[in-house]
Structure 1
Amino acid sequence: MQSFHAYIDTFNAHVGRSTFGRIFRLEGSGHENEIRHTRLTTEVRAGLTSFFTMSYIIAVNATILSDTGGNCVCNDKNDPLCLENNDSEVNRNLITATAAVAGFSSFLFGFLTNMPVCLAPGMGLNAYFAYQIVGFHGGGLISYDLALTAVFVEGLIFIFLSLIGMRQWLVKVIPVSLKIAAACGIGLFLAEVGLSNNAGIGAIAGSSSTPLDIAGCPDQFKDEFGSCKSHKMTSPTMWLGIMGGGVLTAYLMSYKVKSAMILAILLVSIISWPRGTPVTFFPDTEVGNNRFEFFKKVVSFQPINRTLNALDWNIAEKSGHFALALFTFLYVDIIDCTATLYSMARFSGVVDSETGDFPRSTIAYCTDAFSISVGALLGCSPVTAFIESGAGIAEGGKTGLTAMTCGLCFLISMFFAPIFASIPPWATGCTLILVGCLMMRQITSINWRYIGDAVPAFVTVMFIPFGYSAAYGLIAGLMIYTALNGMIYMTKVISRGRIVPDDEDRREYWTIKPAGRLPWFVSASQAVADRVRRTPGSSEDIALSDRDSEAEWRYRERIGSNGSHRELEAVIVKALPTDPRHEKVFTKMGVHEMR
C-alpha cells in the first residue's frame, strides 16, 4: 500500500512539473500563481464527485422538458397513445441533449477559466420554461421552438453584457455581506433539495396545510401531491440514504477519507439496483418496469433528431409573449448564475478580497453565456453554473481539471445513459446536505454587528431556500438593503448628521464605486467627460482625472486647497470610512505615526 501511495505521489509530482501542470497551475509547476495543494488525482476524484452529484439532471431535466411535448404534434390532443409516444421520444432525445450540453459546457468552462465549476441546464429555470412559458403539452404562452429561440437570444445578450463588463460590475457593487449570504442561502437550498422527494432522500414534502411537511413514507402511502397520508419517516429508501449516504459519508470525512462522497453514492446506488428489495429503484410498477428496461440496455445512444436546431424565428405573431419570456429568462438567469458563480468561486477560495472579483471572470461569464445558446440549439432550457459543483470543491477540487473531468463523464454518459440515469435520488440527497453544511460555514463572515447589514443578509439567507431560487433570494436582500439603508441615509441628511444610529461605525464599508477596474465603456466615458470639462493647470482637475478611488480623490483634492498638512491628516482620518482597502492611503499620509 505504501508503494502504491508513493507511486501516486511520484506521478502527481511528474504531472505538476510538466507543461500540462503549468497550464492548470498545479502545485510544483513553477507558475507564479500556482495553486497550493493541487494534484491531478485529487482533481479527477473531485470531478467524479461533482458528476455523480449532478448526474440526476440527466433524467430529471429530460422528464421536466418532455412534459411540454417538445415540437411533436398530435392531431388529436386527447389521444393518450400519441401523447405517450411523443413524450417518450422527446424524453430520450433530451437525455442525450442534456448530457451533451452539460459535458460540453463543463469541459469548456474548466479549460478556459481553470475553475472547478460545472455547468448544466439549471433546475428551476427548466420548470419555468416547461410549465409557465411552453406549458404542459404546449398549452402555454409560446411554442417549444419559439421558447428555444428566446433562450438562444438570451445567451447572445449575455455575451454582450459580459464583454462590456456589466456582469462583473454587478458582482462588485453587491454588498459583501449579501454576497456571503447568497452563498450561505445556496447551501441551505442544497440541503432542502437533498431533503426533498424529487432529487433527495424524500424526508420533506409539500403540504396543503403548511408549506412543508415531514414525509419519508413509502410510495403507496403518498397522495397525488406527494404528501404522506400516514407511515411518515418509515421509508426504507430514506433511511438507506441517511445511513449510507449521510452518516457514513460524514464518518469517512471525519477521518479525511478523500473519496468519501463518491464511495457513499456508489454504495447506495449498487444496493438500490437489485429488484425485489424494499429499497429498489425498480419497483414492480409501470414506472419501475420502464426504468429497469432502460437500465438493462447499459449502452445506448439516442440521436438528437427531434430537438436539434429546432429554433423558430417567426417571432412576429407572438412578439409580446416572446419579449416577456426573453426578459424573464434574462433577469432571472443573470442574477442566478452571477450569484452561483461568485459563491462557488468564494467556496473554492479564489475571490480577491480587495476587488471582490475572481480570476478570468470575463471569460467565465462569456463561456456561461455561450453555453446557454449552445444548449438552446440542442433543445435545452438555460444552462447555468451548478451549485452541486460544491461537492467537487469540498472533495478537494481547485482547478479547471475538476470541471473538465465532470464534463468528460457527462459526454461518456451519452452512451451509458441507462446507468447514470439510474442513480437514485436518495443516493445523492445526503451528499447535497453535507455540501450545504460546508457552505454554511461562511455565515460567521456576515457583519451581524450592524442592523443595516444583518437584516438584508438574513432575508437573503432565508429567502433562497424558501423561495426555491437563488436569484429571487438575492433580489429580496438587495431590495431590503436599499430600502433600509436608504432611509437611514435620508434621515442622516435631513437631520444634518444629528440623527444617526449609535452603531453606525460598525457598518460594512460599501460604495457605488467598488475597488478594481471599471467596465471599459464607463472608464472611456469618464475620460471623455473629464477631458471636456478640464481647465489646464487646475490642481483639482488633475485630481479628478487621476483619482483611483473615492478616498484617494478626497485626499488629493484637499491637498490642492489646503496648505496645512497636519490639519489635512486629521480631517481625512475622520472623513474616510473604515475600509482596510484604504490602509495604503493612511500609510502614505503618516496617520499611523500620528495615532
Structure 2
Amino acid sequence: MVNALDKLNALIADSFVGRWFKLEGSGHIKERIGSRFTTELRAGLTTWAAMAYIISVNASILSDSGGTCECPTDDLCITDPTYLSCVEEVRKDLITATAASAALASFLLGLLANLPVGMAPGLGLNAYFAYSVVGFHGSGIVTYQEALAAVFLEGWVFFFLSLVGLRQWLVRIMPQSLTLAVGAGIGLFIAFIGLSSSGLGIVGGDTTNFVGLGGCKAEDFVSDDLPNYCARRVLQNPTVWLGVFVGGIFTVLMMLYRVRGAILIGIFLVSIISWPRPTSVTYFPHTEAGDQMFDFFKQVVTFRPLTHTGNAIDYNYRSGHVWYALITFLYVDILDTTGTLYSMAKFAGLRDPVTLDFEGSTIAYCVDAFSISMGALMGTSPVTAFIESATGISEGGKTGITAIVTGFCFFISIFFAPIFASIPGWATGGALVIVGSLMIRNVREINWDYIGDAVPAFLTLIMIPLTYNIAYGVIAGVLSYVVINGIPWLIMKLSGNRIVPPNYENSEEWVIPPGSIFPGWILKLTGREVSYDDEQHAMDDRMDSRMDQRISDETSQVDHASKHSLSDFEKHSRPVQV
C-alpha cells in the first residue's frame, strides 16, 4: 500500500499537475519540499472538516437579519409565523450560498495562487453585517439588499488595491515583531474559538466575566434567552468530555505516533458518535430545534436553489448609509483578510525571507477580492481567508491542491448539505485548540529583549482573541508601536543622538523590505523589474555597513575611555616631590 502511494505521488509529481503546483519531485525550480499529492488530499479534507461548521453557522447568523423578507409591523415580527417561515426559507438559501461561495473562492485560490488556504464567508464580518448594518429582522441602517451592494463594491475596490500591490505592501512594511505576533494571536484566537460555546463549550459560561467555565446542560442555563451561560453545574455536559478526550487527547496521541490524518480522524469520529439520537451526546436532541435539524439531516442529499438571496442586490449607492457600511467593511476586511492570508502563508513556510512577501500574493488577494463580489451576488457577507486553514497546513498541506480539495468538498456540500451542516462544534473544537498550540510558537521569534518591540507585540497578541477580531489586534499593535517607538526616535533626533534609551541596541530595526510597492506585472510592463538577488546583496551591504559603523563607534568609545583611564593613571602615579 505504501509503495503504491509512493508511486502515485511520484507519477503526479512528474506530470503537468505536479509542475503547476510545484510538488516535490516535479523538477520545478521552486518546488515545495515535503509536498506530496496524497498529503495534499488529506490536508484539504482536514481544512474542509474544520471549516464545515460555517455552512450552518453563517446561514444562521445572516438569516437573523431577515434577509429579503419584509416585516409589516414595528415589533420586528418576532412571533409572526409568515415572516418566520420566510426567514427559514432564507436560511436554507444561505446554506447553499455559503457552501457555493466557499467552493468557488477556495478552488480559485488553490488553482491560481497555489496556496493551501480555504476561504468562506467570515465570522465576525457576518455578525457585523447581520446585527449592525442590516440589524435583527431588518432593524439596522440599511436593507439587506443595500448591504449586499456595499459588499459587492467592496470586492471591486479590493481588487484594484490588490492589483496595484497596495494590500501586499501594507503587510510587508509591518515590523517583524508585530507580524509574528499576528500569527501567534491568530493561534490564540483559534484556540479560544475551540474552547468557546461554538466549539468544546469549556469557556464562556459566566454572565459576569463572559469567559468563566461553561459546559453545563440545557436545563442549567441561566435562561432560555441566554443559552450556554451556566447558572450551576459547569462542565457537566457529556459533549464537552467527548470533544476533549476523543477530539482532543486521542487526536494528540495519534499525532504523537505520526498517524496520518489524525485531526481529520478525530473530527469525523466525534461527529459519527454524535449523530445517533438516543444518546446523551447527540447533536439532535428531542427539542423543536433538534427535530428540525434531524429532519434536515435525514434528507442526506438535497439541492436548494437560491430563491430569495440570489442576485438580490439593490445598487442604491446614493445612500450615505451604504457608503458608511462600505467604508467599515473595507477598514475591517483589509486588516483581517490581509493579515490572515499572510499569516497562513508564513505558517506554511511560503514567505520569501528577503521581500517578506509570499509567492502569488497579488493573485491571492485578487481572488479574495473577486470572491467577495461573487459572494454578494449569492447573498452572503464578505468572503475571507479562514484561520482554520492552519489545520490542513499542520497536516502537511503546502500547495494549492489543498485548497482545491477544500473547495471541491464545499461543492459536494451544496448537495450533501444535510450531512455536512451536521458536524457539531465539539467535533472541531479539539482540533482548533491543537492547531492554536502549533501556531503560538511564533512568540519564540518576537524580540522580547526590547520593551519597545515587546509591548506592541504583546498587545497585538492579546487583543486578537479578547476582541474576537484580528483587525482590532493589528490596530492596537501598530498604534502602540508608532507611539512607543516614535517618541524616543523624535527625542533622539532633536538631541543629536545624545539622549538614547539605555537598551536601544537590542531594538529590532524597522526597515522597508526589498522590492517595489508595485507587483511584478507592473514592473515588467515598465521595464523596471529588479532581481531579488540584487536586493539581497544590497540588504547585506547595508547590514555590513551598519555593523562596521557600530563596531567603529564602539571602538572609538573604547579608545576614548582608555585615554581617560590612562590620563587618570598618569595623574595619580606621578612621583611625590619632597
TM-score, length of structure 1 as denominator length: 0.87
> What is the 5 A alignment of 1:164-183?
164-183=164-183
Report the CA distance between 1:178 and its aligned residue.
Answer: 0.3
Query: CA 1:570 to 1:44, structure 2 compared with 1: closer, same or farther past 3 Å?
Result: closer
What do residues 418-454 of structure 1 show as CA deviations (whole Å, max 9, x unaligned)?
Answer: 0001111000001000000000111101011111111
Partner of 1:303: 305
SS in structure 1 at match of 2:384? strand
Whole-angstrom CA distance in 1 between matches of 2:461 and 2:296 = 40
SS at match of 2:415: coil
Structure 1 pair 550–236 and aligned structure 2 pair: CA distance change class (3 A): closer
1:555 and 1:244 mapped to 2: Cα distance? 54
Q: Deviations over 1:223-267 (max 9, x none)?
A: 232310011011100000000100000000001111101111111
Q: Deviations over 1:32-51 (max 9, x none)?
A: 11111111110000000000
Change beyond 3 A, Cα 1:186–1:441:
same
1:205 aligned counterpart, secondary structure: coil
Which region of structure 1 is more displaced relative to structure 2, 150-159 or 15-24?
Answer: 15-24
In structure 2, C-alpha distance between the alignment counterparts of 1:427 and 1:514, rounded to whole Å: 42
Rounded to whole Å, the distance in 1 between the matches of 2:550 and 2:255 is 50
Tell me the secondary structure at the aligned position of residue 90 of structure 1: helix
Q: Secondary structure at the match of 1:214?
A: coil
- What corresponds to 1:131 in structure 2? 131
CA distance in 2, matches of 1:520, 1:393: 26
2:217 matched to 1:215?
A: no
What amino acid is aligned across from residue 55 of structure 1 in structure 2?
A
**Distance in 2 separating the partners of 1:486 and 1:575:** 24
Q: Deviation of residue 18 (structure 1)?
A: 1.2
Cα 1:280/1:508, change in 2 over 3 Å? same
SS in 2 for 1:284: coil
Q: Could you tell me whether the CA contact under 8 Å between 1:555 and 1:572 is conserved in 2? A: no
- In structure 2, how many angstroms separate the alpha carbons of the residues matched to 1:354 and 1:222? 53
Cα distance change on mapping 1:468 and 1:550 into 2, 3 Å:
same
The equivalent of 1:39 in structure 2 is 36
Q: After TM superposition, give the deviation of residue 514 of structure 1 in Å.
A: 2.5
How far apart are 1:75 and its partner, in Å? 3.1
Aligned 8 A contact 2:58 2:126 in 1 = yes
Distance 1:140 1:443, change over 3 A: same
Matched, 1:250 2:252: yes
Tell me, in whole angstroms, the C-alpha distance in 2 between the residues paired with 1:186 and 1:206.
Answer: 22
Deviates more, 1:464-473 or 1:11-20: 11-20
In structure 1, C-alpha distance between the alignment counterparts of 2:71 and 2:549, rounded to whole Å: 77
- Structure 1 residues 443, 547: CA separation in 2 closer, same or farther (over 3 Å shift)? closer
Give me the whole-angstrom Cα distance separating, in 2, the residues matched to 1:99 and 1:286: 25
Matched to 1:75, the amino acid is: P
Structure 1 residues 18-27 or 396-405, which shifts more? 18-27
* Aligned: 1:65 with 2:62: yes
Q: Does 1:464 align with 2:464?
A: yes
- Number of aligned residue pairs: 537
- Which residue is 1:582 aligned to? none
Q: CA deviation at 1:74?
A: 3.5
Aligned to 1:21: 18
Shift of 1:211: 3.6
Q: CA deviation at 1:572?
A: 8.2
Specify whether residues 49 and 551 from structure 1 end up closer, same or farther in structure 2 by C-alpha distance, changes over 3 A only: closer
SS of the residue aligned with 1:42?
Answer: helix
Confirm or deny that 1:334 pairs with 2:347: no
Contact 2:191 2:434 (8 Å CA) reproduced? yes
Counterpart residue identity of residue 30, structure 2:
N
> Matched residues in 2 for 1:572 and 1:132: separation?
54
Give the letter aligned to residue 386 of structure 2: F
The percent identity for this pair of structures is 51
Q: Which stretch shifts more, 15-24 or 384-393?
A: 15-24
1:401-416 alignment runs, 5 A limit: 401-416=401-416
Q: Tell me, in whole angstroms, the C-alpha distance in 1 between the residues paired with 2:487 and 2:264.
A: 50
Query: Residue 137 of structure 1 aligns to which amino acid in structure 2?
Result: H
One-letter amino acid matched to 1:20: V
Q: Distance in 2 between matches of 1:570 and 1:20?
A: 49
Q: 1:216 to 1:101 in 2, by over 3 A?
A: same
> Structure 1 residues 283, 569: CA separation in 2 closer, same or farther (over 3 Å shift)?
closer
Gaps of 5+ in 2: 527-534, 555-578
CA contact (8 A) 1:49 1:261 kept: yes
Aligned partners of 2:89, 2:498: CA distance in 1, in Å? Answer: 70
Amino acid at match of 2:510: W
Give per-residue Cα distances to partners, 1:258-287, cap 9 Å, x unaligned: 110111111100110111211000101001
Pairing 1:355-504 to 2, within 5 Å after superposition: 355-504=355-504
Provide closer, same or farther for how the CA distance between residues 479 and 467 of structure 1 changes in structure 2, counting only shifts above 3 A: same
2:232 paired residue among 230, 233, 241: 230
C-alpha offsets along residues 321-380 of structure 1, whole Å, 9 cap, x if unaligned?
Answer: 111110100010000011101110010001011111001111111110000000000000
Comparing 209-218 with 233-242, greater Cα deviation is found at 209-218
Which of 39, 49, 52 lines up with 1:55 in the alignment?
52
Match of 2:560 in 1: none
Amino acid at match of 1:222: F
Indicate the residue corresponding to 2:194 in structure 1. Answer: 194
Cα contact 1:189–1:465 (8 A) shared by 2 = yes
1:517 Cα offset (Å): 2.2
Distance 1:20 1:515 in 2: 32
Q: Tell me how far apart the structure 1 counterparts of residues 261 and 326 of structure 2 sit (CA, whole Å).
A: 42
Deviation readout 1:277-300 (Å, 9 max, x if unpaired):
110001010010001000000001
Deviation at 1:571, TM superposition (A): 4.8
Match of 1:157 in 2: 157
| Aligned residue number for residue 514 of structure 1 | 513
Query: Is the CA contact (8 Å cut-off) linking 1:269 and 1:424 kept in structure 2?
Result: yes
The alignment partner of 1:117 has SS state of coil
Contact 2:119 2:386 in 1 (8 A): yes
The residue type paired with residue 217 of structure 2 is P
> In terms of mean alpha carbon deviation, does 376-385 or 223-232 score higher?
223-232
Q: Secondary structure at the match of 1:380?
A: coil
Aligned equivalents of 1:261, 1:571: Cα separation in 2 = 51
1:135-146 equivalent positions in 2, closer than 5 A: 135-146=135-146
C-alpha spacing 1:474/1:30, structure 2 compared with 1 (3 Å): same
**Structure 2 counterpart of 1:173, one-letter code:** I
- Could you tell me how far 1:181 is from its partner in structure 2? 0.2
Give the residue type in structure 1 aligned to 2:437.
C
Q: What is the distance in 2 between the residues matched to 1:202 and 1:182?
A: 25
Tell me if structure 1 keeps the 8 A contact 2:40–2:399: yes
CA contact (8 A) 1:74 1:82 kept: no
Shift of 1:494: 2.4
Distance 1:413 1:487, change over 3 A: same
Greater mean deviation of Cα atoms: 491-500 or 131-140: 491-500
TM-score for the superposition, normalised by structure 2: 0.89
Deviation at 1:392, TM superposition (A): 0.2
Distance 1:555 1:180 in 2: 25
* Among 255, 278, 281, the residue aligned to 2:280: 278
